[in-house]
Amino acid sequence: MELSKRITGISPSATLTITSKAKAMKKDGIDVISFGAGEPDFDTPEYIKDAAVAAIGGGKTKYTPSIGTVELRQAICDKLKSFNGLEYKQENIIVSNGAKHSLFNIFQAICQEGDEVIIPAPYWVSYTEMVKLSGAMPVIVGTNAADGFKLKADALAKAIRPKTKAIILNSPSNPTGCVYSKDELESILEVIKDKDIRVVSDEIYERLIYDGLGHTSFASLSDRAKEMTIIVNGVSKTYSMTGWRIGYIASTDLELTKSIKNLQDHSSSNPSSISQEAALAALSKEDDSVEKMKKEFEKRRDYMFERIGSIEKLSCVKPQGAFYSFVDASKVNKDSLEFAKKLLEDVQVAVIPGEGFGAPGFIRLSFATSMENIKEGLDRIEKWLRQ
């Protein structure tokens, strides 16, 4: 039977080729060092797990409203107010099965066949495929290391066309770790503020920012910016809750939130009631675990950055957020998939090739792994390149 063209048109995950091979090697007892992790290597904090256990014991095991419980949506509003300085009401919030689900729903809700969505490259692997699944076309706008991989206003202006529906901003970024300053966001707003364009602002790494820098949400720039922005966030990265699957959307556009509610009503229904209780605890009873994790990531980032800088033929823009180093390996091999395959075969180090992020010649190294692994992995890479 012929399968749906919508689905067969999706590219397989570029990260999987290497990570599944690395996993298979590990299973065979081979000593593989993996820089592939897309999630914190810390356990979910105890107070969050306790809340989930209490939810099960307390019978919170039934359907909830498909867009999330009133309590969780209120806790999200409170967090948006206290951390981002933004006022939202419960009706502006939709809780989904992870930020990935939130993003998927947004493109389904805002895009028509033939619309265009601007995506700065390097980009997170799923953006392009989600946009394609909605019937719209991804329009990739390149950035470069000299600009810290940040979208410049003039490049954005050139990419905007009558069919442009939205632009995706991801600060801090996966894979580059770049963080947009308020000024940089303002220059982007200047280009689009009079246009009927949405800003899909993926802020999932907002709490993992280093060097004493802060996070600016695009929505906080002005009333107009808030009106244009659809915030995407979740608990996965901040609270080490990747498996719990809780993400959310905040938007002042009630037509949009209503249509996403309808979509969830008839597709996923509510995210797990137990995970919602856990996320409620995460947001409303936060302890010092986030700050501790951030400190550890910053230490690892500093070490990794220094080591990469000392390896001939590799270079890297210092990541200011998230937990990835995006390394230019083009002086070794412009085909980073081939680079990654050889590295894994020769010295058993797994890295993610840049092709899936729209950046061939680059490799992504996650520092969401122990310092010991980072040291050993970089030693192996250095020795391998010298040979």
Ligand X SMILES: Cc1ncc(COP(=O)(O)O)c(C=O)c1O
Q: Which residues bind ligand X (CB under 6 A)?
A: 38, 98-100, 124, 170, 174, 202, 204, 234, 236, 242, 247
Closer by beta carbon to ligand X, 242 or else 272: 242
Q: How far apart are alpha carbons 348 and 65 in whole angstroms?
A: 47
Say if residue 11 is exposed, middle or buried (CB neighbours under 10 Å; 0-12, 13-18, 19+): exposed
Two tokens, residue 204: 């999932």
- Distance in Å, CB of 244 to ligand X, minimum: 9
Closer by beta carbon to ligand X, 275 or else 336: 275
Closer by beta carbon to ligand X, 204 or else 374: 204
Place of tokens 């229904």: 269
Residue 318 sits at φ, ψ, to 5 deg, of -65, 120
- Distance in Å, CB of 203 to ligand X, minimum: 9
SS3 call for 376: helix
- Distance in Å, CB of 252 to ligand X, minimum: 21
Q: What angle do CA 366, 381, 302 make, to 5 degrees?
A: 45
**Is the bond preceding 122 in cis, omega lying within 30 degrees of 0?**
yes
DSSP string, 266-307: TTT-S--HHHHHHHHHHHHS--THHHHHHHHHHHHHHHHHHH
Two tokens, residue 192: 């689009």
- Distance in Å, CB of 101 to ligand X, minimum: 6
Closer by beta carbon to ligand X, 218 or else 381: 218
Place of tokens 């949506």: 73
Q: How far apart are alpha carbons 300 and 373 in whole angstroms?
A: 11
- Distance in Å, CB of 277 to ligand X, minimum: 17
Q: What angle do CA 303, 304, 307 make, to 5 degrees?
A: 85
Q: Is there a contact between 96 and 105 (Cβ–Cβ < 8 Å)?
A: yes
- Distance in Å, CB of 151 to ligand X, minimum: 15
Closer by beta carbon to ligand X, 88 or else 357: 357
- Distance in Å, CB of 57 to ligand X, minimum: 26
Q: How far apart are alpha carbons 172 and 186 in whole angstroms?
A: 16
SS3 call for 230: strand
Closer by beta carbon to ligand X, 216 or else 330: 216
Closest residue to ligand X, Cβ-based? 98
Closer by beta carbon to ligand X, 79 or else 100: 100
Closer by beta carbon to ligand X, 242 or else 315: 242
- Distance in Å, CB of 234 to ligand X, minimum: 4
The residues pairing with 363 across neighbouring beta strands, listed in sequence order, are: 327, 353
